[in-house]
Structure 1
Amino acid sequence: MTASGEQPGSAAHVLELVANGSATSRADLVRELGLAASTVSARVQELVEAGLLTESGEGASRGGRRPRLLRVADRGAVALAADLGSHHIRTGAVGLTGGVLDPEDLAFDLTAGPDGALDALAGQLAALAERQRAAGRTVRGVGLGFPGPVDADGARIIAPSRMPGWHLFPLRDRLADRLGLPVLLDNDANMMALGEHRTARPARRHLVVVKAGRGIGSGVISDGRLHRGARGSAGDISHVRVDRAAQLPCSCGNIGCLETVASGAAIAAALRTRGLRADSAADILRLVEDGDAHATTLVRQAGRDIGTVLAVVVNFFNPEAVVVGGALAAAQPLVAAVRGTLYERCLPMATSELAIDAAVHGPDAGLLGAGHAVLRLAAGTGGAPAAPR
């Protein structure tokens, strides 16, 4: 399954309207959707039977019977979610209300190949599933964000740079077989974009969400839905060539890519050449917070480089917001440099109402996006979707 948006009037769309507060009763849904009351009632009943919605209490009357209020079930359905980085795995459970339940981090080197990573990921998710069931919750499926390209069907990893052994690996189906649960797989930046859009900025219809961590990626929300492109590679800005990278070789096999100068891995490598200890994004942030001039300069320049690439995207796509997430988003000089470069290089019409901010949900944005995508897809298929074959 793929993390595509909901169809208008579907059960998933109904769930979305209730979850974001746009509708609190069946009558509200009829007005919002422009559908027959019988159709709306059928959608609501599907969601109630699936344990995703509840009806309780009464709202204010508008001249007729007092409507029963719809609420997203606080307990009941959850999705397991995992956000994979090249050197970590973060997992948690996501319901339709609230934040991430039972978050857990595991240091793990995904660049060592898929077999060990699959064992570690399956073990961590299986334990998480058992804890959720013990708490009386129903596990609907698993949402997974991977730090590399995923094919259009959401089944396999496609040629991820810096990760030998992962090309064409059927991660979705292998994990589904191990867990006995349906699995939704997508690029990690896409999952972050979904999380930021649905839980922090539901009124924004057009967003670009950048994940700046050890690598660089971005997800695109167009007209309220995730845009993945024809083959699933929409938003991959990491391998756009930039002047400052010149002839630097990139792990993708090309030269001069944005990743070679603006990623966390590139910044850390440059700091190590100066004798500074920098093995992770946390080390970079520590140096910036301590006022280290070299780290601050490199982070600020990375923000300018990212902003230079994003300027083309903003002029072309004209989003309402650019959101900077990932570990490096906590570095204010980077976010400020992105903002300044966009204002400098973009058309005034494109930036006059453009919001440029750090992500609201930090390390949980990808988990929230993955979890909500699974729950909404489950709602759209009348319950837990069938495990992929």
Structure 2
Amino acid sequence: MRAPTTGDPVTQHQPRTPDDAHTRQILDLVTRGHAQSRSELASQLGIAASTVGLRVQSLLDSGLLQEDGVGTSRGGRRPRVLRPASDGGSVLTVDLGGRHARIGKHDLSGALLEVRSAEVDLSAGPVPTLAAISTVFDDLTRDDAAPIRAIGVSLPGPVNVETGAVDQPSRMPGWPGFRVGDHLRSRFDVATITVDNDANLAALGEHRAQFGLSKHSITVKAGTAIGSGIIVDGHVHRGASSAAGDITHTRIDGSGDIPCSCGNTGCLETVASGASLVRQMHELGRGDVQVVGDVLALARDADPAATTLVRTAGTHLGQALSGVVNFFNPHAVFLTGSMSASEPFLAAVRSRVYEACHPLATQNLRIEAAMTGADAILHGAARQALEGLELPGPAS
């Protein structure tokens, strides 16, 4: 399959032909449990039963779906129940961070079956990092008879999804221009390998869990750094140069002249990220604080300095989000990452957004911690990889 063209938010993973479109829609509805029979598929898709039958048969023949028992009759013959094939293969995913990686194994429904953690060092470069990940992939699938169907990779930097390479990352020496998908494809016999930014995949994973293929949302990953992804009608919105949703470098009023990794000063990252909270605690003489988790733990224990910094960070994030909410009018804003577990942080974000936005923009707006938690990125990577699968043509 030709790599998707960057910049189109809705057609990013859309099929190229009507036959492919119907097959992909059928696979999506069955794997997400929204349809279990040919008649339900025909009703939901508004296409002829004969067309559904041909597409379903091609998915059965390819081993992506299976028939499992019979359903409830509605006056005629009892329908055969369709499910993702239990032995149809697996999808592997990886959420790469600066010092660690979370690696997942999924079935063809996208359900997460197993998670492993591995120590990595992105600064060592892509080849040794991906070698460590490949070792875990091998271990996860060592006893599998069925093939690896797809691999989804999350990287902590801007990604050109057409090439599968990071583009102008701030803290990934040796990675710019390195084609991660091509490298893994040479190691594993897998046609479908997708690569994307971690914030986009967190947004996709959370949105699909909450809304499926409808509605609009923003997901903010607030941890050591800050990133966000935008979802339109269930698909990642990337913008003209794949920079949509990057609120990290929004200039914040009253932030001072703290230099940012982008070369400007006063960006959101310099006052609201976990790294900035650690820096500010050091400036207050709290040398015992080493990581953002230490700041959050102090805030939970009602430490005045830590609590004030956490709430202020939430207010700054809410300020940056308010303009986006007014302009985009999403159904929900989801927060993930370590800071999303802090109630003072979450309350401050809500307060600032509701205060600064037009009432119509917040009338039905949900602002809450992500339900998928630490697994949001893995779920998003699996969903994107599944949507990139090469699908069979209609059965003859």
Contact 1:215–1:265 under 8 Å retained in 2: yes
User: 1:386: which partner in 2?
Assistant: none
User: 2:24: which partner in 1?
Assistant: 12
User: 1:24: which partner in 2?
Assistant: 36
Task: Name the count of aligned residue pairs.
Answer: 379
Shift of 1:271: 2.0
Deviation track 1:220-255 (CA, whole Å, cap 9, x = no partner) reads 110122212222221111111111323211111122
Contact 1:94–1:372 under 8 Å retained in 2: no
Contact 2:311–2:348 under 8 Å retained in 1: yes
Query: Separation in 1 of the partners of 2:289 and 2:25?
Result: 45
Pairs within 5 Å for 1:231-380 = 231-273=241-283, 274-378=285-389
The 10-residue stretch of structure 1 (197-206 or 30-39) with the greater mean CA deviation from structure 2: 197-206
- In structure 1, runs of 5+ residues without a counterpart are 384-389
1:89 correspondence with 2:101: yes
User: 1:185: which partner in 2?
Assistant: 195
Q: For 2:222, which of 212, 216, 221 is the aligned residue? A: 212
Shift of 1:281: 3.4
TM-score normalized with structure 1 length: 0.90
The 10-residue stretch of structure 1 (171-180 or 205-214) with the greater mean CA deviation from structure 2: 171-180
Shift of 1:122: 2.6
1:151 correspondence with 2:163: no
The 10-residue stretch of structure 1 (47-56 or 351-360) with the greater mean CA deviation from structure 2: 47-56
The 10-residue stretch of structure 1 (99-108 or 140-149) with the greater mean CA deviation from structure 2: 99-108
Query: Separation in 2 of the partners of 1:26 and 1:11?
Result: 12
Pairs within 5 Å for 1:78-227 = 78-97=90-109, 99-130=111-142, 134-181=143-190, 182-202=192-212, 204-227=214-237
Q: Secondary structure at the residue paired with 1:10?
A: helix
Shift of 1:354: 0.6
What fraction of aligned residue pairs are identical, expressed as a percent? 45
Shift of 1:53: 1.9
Deviation track 1:126-159 (CA, whole Å, cap 9, x = no partner) reads 33232xxx14443112101111100141521101
Q: Secondary structure at the residue paired with 2:248?
A: coil
Deviation track 1:277-298 (CA, whole Å, cap 9, x = no partner) reads 3333333332222332222221
TM-score normalized with structure 2 length: 0.89
Contact 2:123–2:171 under 8 Å retained in 1: yes
The 10-residue stretch of structure 1 (254-263 or 12-21) with the greater mean CA deviation from structure 2: 12-21
Deviation track 1:296-329 (CA, whole Å, cap 9, x = no partner) reads 2212111111111111111111110100011221
- CA 1:301/1:154 → structure 2, altered by over 3 Å: closer, same or farther? farther
Shift of 1:363: 1.0
- In structure 2, runs of 5+ residues without a counterpart are 5-10
1:39 correspondence with 2:51: yes
Query: Separation in 1 of the partners of 2:226 and 2:208?
Result: 22
Pairs within 5 Å for 1:34-73 = 34-73=46-85
- CA 1:300/1:122 → structure 2, altered by over 3 Å: closer, same or farther? same
RMSD value, Cα: 2.2
Query: Separation in 1 of the partners of 2:377 and 2:314?
Result: 21
Query: Separation in 2 of the partners of 1:227 and 1:154?
Result: 18
- CA 1:136/1:115 → structure 2, altered by over 3 Å: closer, same or farther? closer
